[in-house]
Amino acid sequence: MNRHALWWLATVPLLPLALPLALHTRRTALRLPVAQGEPSGTAAAHLPGEPLRLLLIGESTVVGVGVTHFDQSLANCLAVALAECLGRPVRWRACGENGITASEAHERLLPLALAEPADLALLVFGVNDTTHLTPSKRWLQALAAMADALGERGCRVVFSGVPPLQHFSALPWLLRQLMGWRASLLDRELQSLAQRLGALHCQLDLPFEAHYLAEDGYHPSALGYRQWAAGLAERLTPELLRPL
């Protein structure tokens, strides 16, 4: 029996409890807007050298849900952190949509992402595919297709790990356990996919304490985005300094 089948075997008997909880959570959850401002910019423009072209594609965290302005978003925070590590400017662009799954992003966001060349692309998916119960085969196919299309343009591809939903305080305990388990299954498959494609998988380096989360208990706060970006930059810098 595979791991997903085991998850369903454990989950089905709990559906009479889990479904009302999920519906109540969906109805009452605090919904935060996307960040204000332009979803693109340049970090450390004063530094010498050709800017690194950074692209982020993904769900709500890519469009800065949890903070008020794109200056506080993951994209800008990562650009700032990478510029400091690399000693060169970083020109960043965020292609995201709140609530989007990987297969929807392959259809809607990838054409936008490919409109301009990029040196490094960070794909940030998993929360919506976890909660929408996306079949793992569809999840992997969409991510692989996006990675292949970007790789054909000479872009390095990095996958951000699936967030551990068991730490999302917005969810009731039972949903945290079930969704956290499913998120870990998808992340395990994502790691295998990255290995097969020769891409990098970066575990989400974020303490899930209250001040690292936005008021909805679901998205990072400004501090959370900075912490996440710092972990990514630390992991990515050696790869970026290594020649293709």
Q: List, for residues 125-152, the tens digit of each pLDDT value.
A: 999 999 999 999 999 999 999 999 999 9
Residue 53's nearest CA partner among 146, 116, 135 is 116
d(CA 71, CA 139): 30
Beta-bridged to residue 122, according to DSSP, are 56, 158
What pLDDT is attached to residue 1?
61
pLDDT band at 208 (very low <50, low <70, confident <90, very high): confident
How would you class 172 by CB atoms within 10 Å of its CB: exposed for 0-12, middle for 13-18, buried for 19 or more? middle
Full set of structural domains in the chain with CATH: 42-241 (3.40.50.1110)
Write down the pTM of the prediction: 0.94
The amino acid present at 173, given as its one-letter code, is W
- List, in order, residues 6 or more apart from 80 with CB less than 8 Å away: 43, 44, 90, 229
d(CA 138, CA 189): 12
